[in-house]
Amino acid sequence: MDSLEDKRYFLEHINPKAKRFLNTCSHCGRQGYRPSIEEEGFGEDGKRRFMRKVLQRHYGPLPLDESGRCEVCVGLARKGD
């Protein structure tokens, strides 16, 4: 993955609309792209295709549960029970 500065530059200056396709874990703050961008039909136009490519380059997929937690935090919560 690229540096934090590269990620911020892309999101703030190149394509600020890409922020809506990022997930952030409500517990640990980890960020990744929504897995839905990998679905067929997401990148049909050139802008979205570019956005998907850049998000996949800078971030990994981050599915969240109903509470907004990543898989790691859900696993840690289960261990604590």
Higher pLDDT, 27 or 45: 27
Can you give the three-state secondary structure of the chain, one letter per residue? CCCHHHHHHHHHHHCHHHHHHEEECCCCCCEEECHHHHCCCCCCCHHHHHHHHHHHHHCCECCCCCCCCCHHHHHHHHHHC
Q: Which pLDDT score is estimated for 41? A: 81
Enumerate the domain spans of the chain.
4-80
Is-contact 67 38, C-beta < 8 A?
A: no
Going by pLDDT thresholds of 50, 70 and 90, the confidence category of residue 48 is confident
> pTM (2 decimals)?
0.80
Q: Which pLDDT score is estimated for 81? A: 65
**Mean pLDDT along residues 54-70:** 93
Q: Tell me: pLDDT of 5 over 80.
A: no
Q: Tell me: pLDDT of 1 over 60.
A: no
Q: Which pLDDT score is estimated for 49? A: 87
